[in-house]
Chains A and B, each alone.
Chain A
Amino acid sequence: MIEHVVPVRVYYVIFGWLMALLVVTLVAAYLPLGGWGTLVAFTIATVKAVLILLYFMHVRYGSRLIWIAATAAFLWLGILLVLTLSDYEARGWTPASEMLRPDRPADIPPPPKL
């Protein structure tokens, strides 16, 4: 019993998209996007990662349990990032929180100066 054999053409098409997205990443890096540049770069990187996951790593063609395992990995990473960053957000250490709260309460220390 053999699982679904992905046609070679699919791999070439996805590779083409990955290279195109690499070019877009580079072009976007040189555009004057200001604070949004980082978000754009990471969004493109996430799209590339999803393409690799779905097609090269066969998640699209696999069973639901494999899909759950792959999703769980990134879900747990998401928990790590959301809880950690929301903590720093509340202390005003992130750029977004700086914009929202320019006058820091006296009892919340700023990021340490090394």
Chain B
Amino acid sequence: MPEEIADMPHEPALAEQFDDLHQQRFADTLGMWIFLATEVLLFGGIFAGYTVYRMAYPEAFTLASHHLSIPLGTINTAVLLGSSLMVALAVHAAQTGRSKVVGNMLAGALVLGTVFLGIKAVEYTTEWRHHLVPWMEGFNPGGAHPEWQRLYYVFYFIMTGTHAVHMIIGMAVLGVIAVKGWRGAYTAERYVTVEVAGLYWHFVDIVWVFLFPALYLIHVKQ
């Protein structure tokens, strides 16, 4: 492939080790998919542990889950689905060579991500005030089986906490890409960075799609 002319600020879209852009793009996305496979097993392992203990102590887990706010959990699910839509639109903008729109769409996704984290912070603060944090002194969920309820809360904080850490990392990455988007970095030839970051973000969304019914919707109080 011909080198770009000297006064262009970018390096060539095609890296040296690939035969053509199609192969390069394919290798980039396959690499992210393999990483996402390891992430599926990370969260899946925690889910498996949660499933086993939920089946062993169903009443305690049901009681413990009643302290969670279903309205807030639902809003958070909708917020994350919306952010995935914006990221998908950002990828589309990159593919059609509209780099500034990439920045705008990702900024929207970041706003929604911040809303999600804000709501989670409100939930965590409420849980802390109601003595539901299992590692703190005075853990007291009320009702039967406090020790098995403690187990539920360990899973709740670990699962949502790990998810939140993944979200923060994803938001940092999207932030960098948004800034580069506003600076005109993305074209129809150079869009795969946006696509690969998008894959990661959609995965984090999928994790939450499973976390919400698992943690919040166990035999809800009628």
Interface residues of A (CB under 8 A from B): 1-3, 5-6, 8, 11-12, 15, 18-19, 22, 25-26, 29-30, 32, 37-38, 41-42, 44-45, 48-49, 52-53, 55-58, 62-63, 65-66, 69-70, 72-74, 76-77, 80-81, 84-85, 88, 93-95, 111, 114
The yes or no answer to B85 lying at the interface (CB within 8 A) is yes
How far is B44's CA from A37's CA once the two chains are assembled, in angstroms?
Answer: 21
CB neighbours of A37 from chain B (8 A): 217, 219
Excluding A57-B198, A74-B40, A84-B48, 18 further A-B contacts by CB distance (< 8 Å) are A2-B188, A3-B22, A8-B89, A11-B92, A18-B81, A22-B74, A37-B217, A41-B217, A45-B213, A53-B202, A62-B29, A66-B33, A70-B33, A76-B40, A85-B48, A88-B52, A93-B52, A111-B57
Residues of chain B contacted by A11 (CB below 8 angstroms) = 85, 88-89, 92
**Size of B's binding interface in residues, CB under 8 A:** 60
29 pairs, A vs B, C-beta closer than 8 Å:
A1-B22, A2-B95, A2-B191, A3-B22, A6-B88, A8-B89, A22-B81, A32-B222, A37-B217, A44-B213, A45-B213, A49-B206, A52-B84, A56-B84, A56-B202, A58-B195, A62-B29, A65-B26, A69-B34, A70-B36, A70-B37, A72-B37, A73-B37, A81-B44, A81-B48, A81-B51, A85-B51, A85-B52, A111-B57
Which residues of chain B are within 8 angstroms of A73 by Cβ–Cβ distance?
33, 36-37, 40-41
Chain A nearest CB, measured from B148 CB (Å): 6
Counting residue pairs across A and B whose Cβ atoms lie within 8 Å, the total is 138
CB closest chain-B residue, reference A26? B74
Interfacial chain B residues near A45, Cβ < 8 Å: 209-210, 212-213
Q: Which residue of B has the minimal Cβ distance to A111?
A: B56
CB distance from A23 to the nearest CB of B (A): 9
CA distance A72 to B58 in the complex (A): 31
Contact B213 A5 (CB under 8 A): no
Query: What's the minimum C-beta distance from A11 to chain B, rounded to whole angstroms?
Result: 5
CB of A76 within 8 A of CB of B88, answer no
Q: What's the nearest-Cβ distance from chain A to residue B212, in Å? A: 8
CB proximity of B76 to chain A, nearest CB, Å: 11
Whether the pair A80, B220 counts as a contact (CB closer than 8 A) is no
* CB contact under 8 A between A6 and B92, given known A45-B213, A69-B33: yes
Report the bound CA distance from A73 to B57 in whole Å.
29
| Closest chain A residue, CB of each to CB of B221 | A30
